[in-house]
Structure 1
Amino acid sequence: MPNTPPPPVPPDTPVKATLPAGTPLFRVHRAEWAATAFNSVPAGRLWGGGRFDATEDDAYPFLYTGLTAASAVCESLLRSVPCHSPEPRPVPRSAVRGRRLAFLRLAVDLDVVSLMSGRDLAAVAQDSWLVQAEAHEYAFTRAWGHWIRRHTEPWARGFVWPSKREPADRVAILFGDRCPPGAVEETGAPAVDLSAPEGEEWLNGLLRPYNAQVAPG
C-alpha cells in the first residue's frame, strides 16, 4: 500500500526460499555491461529506478533476473506497453537498442525472501500491491524493499516474486552485498544481441504469444 509505512517489525517470520545452484537465470542488460555484473548505481529516492533498486537510503549492488527468458523479456520490454488492441503492441526500438539477453545460472545455493504468495506477502505486512505496482509507485516499493532487507539481514540474498507481465514465471533481484563472489555465472551460451537482425527475429518470436513485436524501423 503506497501510503502506508512499514510497521516496526514484520508480523511474521519472512518466508525463506532457496534458489539452488544450477538454477537458470536470464538477464536483459546493456551491451556495455558484463552479463554477471551487479548494478552499483543507486536509483533516486523518489524518481526513476526499478521496483527494488538501491537508493541512497540503502546502497547495495543489485541484479534483476528472470527465471525464464520470457519473464526476463516481458519484465524489461513490456513493462510500459499497454495491451488494449487486437493489433500487436509495438515495443519501441529504443528499448532494445544496445541490449542483450544473457544466459546465466547460479553457481551456489542462494536463500531469498519469497514474495510469491499471499501468505508470503502477509509475513512482511504486504499484499500483491508490492509486486504488482506500476512504475509511478516504485519509490514506495523501494522503501518497502529496504525495510524487508533490514529485517532479513544477513541471510536474504535477494527476493523472488511472480512476474507481473508473465505471472506463470518468476523474477528475482539479487543483492551484491550479500551474495558471495561468483554466485552468478555465464553458461557459455552466446548472448542474444536484441538490436541485431537475427536477435530481433528471435525476440519477435518470443514476443509473438504476448501480442507484441519490435516496432518497425
Structure 2
Amino acid sequence: MTPPPGPSLLPGDVRQHAHAPDSPLPAAVLFDRHGTLVADVPHNGDPSRVALMPGAREAVDTVRAAGAPVGVVTDQPGVARGLPTRREVEDVRLRVTEPLGPFAVRAVCPHGPGQGCGCRTPAPGPVLAACPRLAVPPGRTVVIGDIGADPEAARAAGARGVPVPTDVTRAEEVTTADATVADLPRAVRLVLDPAVPTGEAR
C-alpha cells in the first residue's frame, strides 16, 4: 500500500521573517492547535464551538512582539472521513484566526490512524514542512503542544518541544518530558528568554 502524501501545507495569513542566525531567540514558534491554542472539540466543523485555551492570545502576541514567526502544526484526522468538510475546515480556521491573529504557516496532517503517513504526530512531517516555508532550520524552531506526541514530533524533526499539559495529558507524558510548563504564557517566556529558570516548569 502506497503511503498517502505528506501534510497539507496551507498558505500563511501573513509573511513574517525569522531572527538573524546569530540571535539567541528561536527562529520560529509552532503551536499545536487542538488542546493548545483552542479547546479540543473532536472533528469540529462548527466555528461557534471554537474556544481559546487560557493564555492563548497572550502567548501568541508575545511571540509576535518578539519578532518570531508564529505557525500552527496540527492533526485533523477527521478530514480523511469528511468530518469536517473542507468548507467547515476553512470556516473553523477563520474563526481561530479572528482572536489570535494571522499565522505565518499552517501545516496540517489530514490523515486518519493507520493510513501510514509520515505527518501524524509523533511523526515530524508537519514540523519539517513548516520550517522550509518559513526559511528557518528545525534546530532553531520550538513546538508547543499539550500531549507527549507534540514534543516527540519536535525531537524527531530536530526542533525543541515544550509541552503544556492539560486535563487530558497522560501522567506518563508529563514524567517523561524534559520539562513541562503550567500555562502557555509561561511556556513562551521560557523559550523567548533563556534566563527564565526551568524551575518554573513542572
Identify the TM-score tier after normalising by the shorter chain: under 0.3
Q: Scaled by the length of structure 2, what TM-score is found?
A: 0.24
Higher strand share: 1
Instruction: Please say which structure displays the higher CA radius of gyration.
Output: 1
Higher helix share: 2
Higher RCO, Cα 8 Å, sep 6+: 1
Q: Scaled by the length of structure 1, what TM-score is found?
A: 0.23
